[in-house]
Amino acid sequence: MLITQAYGVSHAACIGLELPNSGIRQQSIFHVTYPKPWIYRYINSNYFEKDPIVATTLKSTLPIDWSMLPMKDKEQKWFFREAREFGIGERGISVPIRGKQMENGLFSIVGDMSDDDWDLYKKQLIPDIITIGFYVHSMVMKTIQLYDDMHIIRLSPREVLCLEWASNGKTFDDIAEILGISSHTVRMYLDAARQKLKCLNITHAVARAIKMELIRAPR
């Protein structure tokens, strides 16, 4: 990865969690430069749910220095001990990511340097690391077409109106009366919007359309 070379670090990692339903199969992504044995170990052991770095970073709004993580229990100590055995050092920074479609993620860089060099490195490059983190996250989301959907979805004016009235708790019959069309036509518009948004039901379609700013939030 060019990022590791350009910024003089041993590893970089982009992890995306809780991805919204956009037609992709996986609900998590894991793009890293870690050694393959550690990647297999991490995924097979479901460390997404046990990794103290992930848990702490996702609760934060600021970058997390791994050295500041509290070692509260044996499981956390074991995690870092095991990571060291696979060549992952303890000097790292993780940036929390809040994506365009409300997905969570983090971008991490792992250093392999002395304590003094690491302290200097952090002071000089944390702003760059934050910027790169969001850029990498955006690029990865585009590779799985999560963000592309936002640009290709086009709702008709009637579909927008029907979704907006549905978001305000109106029934098919209510919307039909308001718009002066049949209840059957309302169902057709809402179903068309649901399919475009790749949602399982109208409630999900309304929520996603609001998040994507395709319709106004309930009045």
Tens of pLDDT along 126-160? 888 888 888 888 877 777 655 554 456 889 999 99
What is the number of structural domains in the chain?
2
Does 128 lie in the same domain as 177?
no
Residue 212, both tokens: 């994507």
- The whole-number average pLDDT for the span 89-109 is 85
Q: Could you tell me the pTM of the whole model?
A: 0.62
Query: For residues 53 and 79, what is the distance between their CA atoms, to the nearest angstrom?
Result: 10
Does 99 lie in the same domain as 132?
yes
**Cα–Cα distances in Å, from 56 out to 70, 135, 139, 148?**
10, 21, 24, 29
Assigned domain for 104 exists: yes
Secondary structure of residue 212 in the 3-state scheme? coil
Does 143 lie in the same domain as 159?
no
Query: For residues 162 and 170, what is the distance between their CA atoms, to the nearest angstrom?
Result: 9
Inter-residue contact 101 to 136 (CB < 8 Å): no
Tens of pLDDT along 6-49? 888 999 999 887 665 544 444 577 788 999 999 989 888 888 87
What angle do helix axes 202-211 and 157-167 make, rounded to 10 degrees? 100
What residues make up the domain containing 106? 2-148
Assigned domain for 217 exists: no
Q: For 148-184, what is the HEC assignment?
A: HHHHHCCCCHHHHHHHHHHHCCCCHHHHHHHHCCCHH
